[in-house]
């Protein structure tokens, strides 16, 4: 099945980094941008993870390398962002500065979206393995002149 980038869909976004991919949840808004929900550490102001919601360019970002679609049908644009943010804010970021906490947090968000009936999740552990593998395999897409590698999850419907 061919995957196409679809406004209104939810994706687990993989960003290529030196050690392993950074993972966040992307709500696709239009053909050029989406809203990213993720946790990050700003070492200049903090030593632990913090939630962030921000606009994410889809094209022209040299770190965004993969988008794994986790919803079958697009979500309503007018309510999705605020609903996702409210759910994301219920999931506390880890109170440490350990590397690699972003994917478990993003998967916990997907689990919460499933519990709210927004995502049809079959297996969160297998989804975690799938997104990690897909993001690692997509390193070649980490270029400004390439669209991120697209796929549809086998563990969400």
pLDDT at residue 122, rounded to an integer: 97
pLDDT at residue 2, rounded to an integer: 58
Query: How do strand 64-69 and strand 10-15 relate by DSSP bridges?
Result: antiparallel
Residue 115 has pLDDT above 60, yes or no: yes
**Reported confidence tier of residue 103, pLDDT bands at 50, 70, 90:** very high
**CA neighbours closer than 13 Å in the CB half-sphere of residue 59:** 7
Cα–Cα distance, 114 to 130 (Å, whole number) = 17
For residue 104, the Cα-to-chain-centroid distance in whole angstroms is 11
pLDDT at residue 39, rounded to an integer: 96
Q: Compute the C-alpha angle 98/111/21, nearest 5°.
A: 40
* Environment class of 18 (CB within 10 Å of its CB; exposed 0-12, middle 13-18, buried 19+): exposed
Q: Give the predicted TM-score (pTM) of the model.
A: 0.94
Residue 43 has pLDDT above 90, yes or no: no
37-40: long-range contacts, CB 8 A cutoff, minimum separation 24:
37/84, 37/85, 37/88, 37/109, 38/13, 38/102, 38/105, 38/106, 39/93, 39/94, 39/101, 39/102, 39/105, 40/102
**Number of neighbouring beta carbons within 10 Å of residue 81:** 16
**Reported confidence tier of residue 47, pLDDT bands at 50, 70, 90:** confident
Q: Compute the C-alpha angle 124/157/11, nearest 5°.
A: 70
Least Cα distance to 149 among 80, 63, 75, 42 occurs for 63
Residue 147 has pLDDT above 90, yes or no: yes
Cα–Cα distance, 58 to 114 (Å, whole number) = 25
| Average pLDDT of the chain, as a whole number | 92
């Amino acid at each position: 099945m061919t995957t196409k980038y679809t406004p209104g869909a939810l994706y687990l976004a993989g960003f290529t980094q030196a050690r392993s991919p950074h993972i966040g949840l992307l709500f696709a808004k239009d053909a050029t941008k989406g809203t990213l929900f993720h946790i990050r550490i700003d070492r200049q102001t903090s030593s632990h993870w913090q939630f962030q919601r921000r606009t994410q360019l889809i094209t022209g970002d040299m770190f965004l390398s993969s988008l794994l679609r986790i919803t079958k049908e697009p979500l309503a644009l007018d309510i999705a962002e605020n609903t996702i943010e409210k759910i994301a804010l219920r999931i506390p970021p880890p109170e440490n500065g350990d590397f690699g906490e972003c994917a478990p947090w993003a998967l916990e968000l997907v689990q919460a979206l499933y519990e709210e009936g927004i995502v049809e999740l079959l297996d969160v552990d297998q989804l975690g393995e799938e997104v990690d593998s897909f993001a690692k395999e997509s390193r070649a897409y980490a270029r400004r002149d390439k669209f991120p590698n697209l796929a549809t999850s086998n563990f969400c419907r």
